[in-house]
Amino acid sequence: NPLDFSGVWRFRDLLPFPKDSDIVTIGEGQTILQQNDRLAKHVGMDAGRLFLQYEGLNPSGSFKDNGMTAASTHARMVGAKMTACASTGNTSASLAIYAGVSGLFQCVVFVGSGKIAYGKLSQALDYGATTLQIKGDFDDALARVREVCAEHPIYLCNSVNPFRLEGQKTIMFRVLEGLGWEVPDWIVVPGGNLGNSSAFGKAFMELKKLGLIDRIPRLAIINAAGAGTLDDLVNNKDLQWNDGRNDADIIRSYYASMDADDRRASTLASAIEINRPVNLVKALRALTICDGVVRSVVDQQIVDARALIAANGFGCEPASGATIAGLQQLREEGVIAASDRVACVLTGHQLKDPDLTVAYHTGDPEKQAEKLHPAGVHLTPHANS
């Protein structure tokens, strides 16, 4: 059965899809948890305690395929003819490959101006997505695509789509599988739109309810410092979450102050350059479920960590580097102990953003930031558009 080869659908008993669904799959999720003692040593952890879940090995080169197979399956169930997403790059590459391979729907992707790594942009164009550049950043592009999908019969595939998150739960199922269903002490994941963080929290809550695990690991969500909404909100003691106002009010006033200062996300880890994560509230819930922590790391930490991971045999993109940078920070703080068992999610492949890698090895990445992400990627219209 081809579904047995999908790292998502072999867990279909744990996913809310009818038994007779026509699954849209391209063999995603064939990723495994790998122990890396050399990297463990570099970050001050004991041998045998650090594991990497390398999701860059998915068909489109990022973890997004875990979710997109589920969203595409649901799009097929409801008879969608057109799908869309906003993206910092990987979501668009993933949606485009599912649309292209299945031939079931047309696909439109919205990207912000100039902030998408070329590896990802080239995938969307190559797989045949109609690619629209929106004036503004990812947050603007997402707001726009949500409006468009509300007005037209277009199926939205961003992580506001709950079916996408269902597929992303399986990343944690595979982590547990890799550990013989022994629960690790920590899961470390980069936080952008916070879809993974939310999906992981839900996965562990459900597994515990089902009695498949006896405890829930702690979750560490790592923001880029230039895109640290969650970090700000969670670690800002002045906000007084429990003073009687509800979370929505706190978030609303935080966003209003962001608007007042015209504060925009800015990081070299373009995948997570997001200031208004759509899954913020779900991620807060995941943090409660998983007794989680949030940290942010600056670009220099991110690019250094990315290079360190690569030097230990795992090529990944900058956003994934945030994971190990965050782990290093939490080790230094003593929040994570050397003997803790830690699973880090490497979310995207090294070849997604080769410009940054070359710039890193040949000069100061901060100085080269402008060169790496020139304002205004000029797209020529696709034949479909």
User: Is residue 112 a contact residue for ligand F0G (CB under 6 A)?
Assistant: no
| Segment interacting with ligand F0G, rule: CB under 6 A, options 28-36, 144-152, 179-187, 188-196 | 188-196
User: Is residue 287 a contact residue for ligand F0G (CB under 6 A)?
Assistant: no
DSSP state of 225: G
Can you read off the two tokens belonging to residue 262?
A: 């015209």
49 or 168, CB closer to ligand F0G? 168
**How many angstroms separate the CA atoms of 282 and 293, rounded?**
15
Of residues 58, 66, 72, 90, which one binds ligand F0G by CB under 6 A?
90
User: Which of 308, 324, 318 lies closest to 355 in space, CA to CA?
Assistant: 318
91 or 133, CB closer to ligand F0G? 91
User: Is residue 272 a contact residue for ligand F0G (CB under 6 A)?
Assistant: yes
Task: Count Cβ atoms below 10 Å from residue 6 Cβ, excluding itself.
Answer: 23
Instruction: Tell me the per-residue interface mask from 300 to 339 with ligand F0G, x by CB under 6 A, - otherwise.
Output: -----------------x-xx-------------------
| Segment interacting with ligand F0G, rule: CB under 6 A, options 39-47, 85-93, 227-235, 285-293 | 85-93
Q: Are the CB atoms for 40 and 49 separated by under 8 Å?
A: yes
Site residues for ligand F0G, 117-176, by CB under 6 A, read: 159
Of residues 112, 192, 217, 228, which one binds ligand F0G by CB under 6 A?
192
Half-sphere exposure of 112 (CA within 13 A, CB side): 27
For 31-84, the DSSP string reads: --EEE-HHHHHHTT--TT-EEEEEGGGSTTSBTHHHHHHHHHHHHHHTT-SEEE
User: Which of 346, 345, 234 lies closest to 283 in space, CA to CA?
Assistant: 234
Can you read off the two tokens belonging to residue 378?
A: 């000029």
User: Is residue 271 a contact residue for ligand F0G (CB under 6 A)?
Assistant: yes
Instruction: Tell me the per-residue interface mask from 194 to 233 with ligand F0G, x by CB under 6 A, - otherwise.
Output: xxxx------------------------------------
Residues lying near ligand F0G in the complex (CB under 6 A): 62, 87-91, 159, 190-197, 271-272, 317, 319-320, 347-348
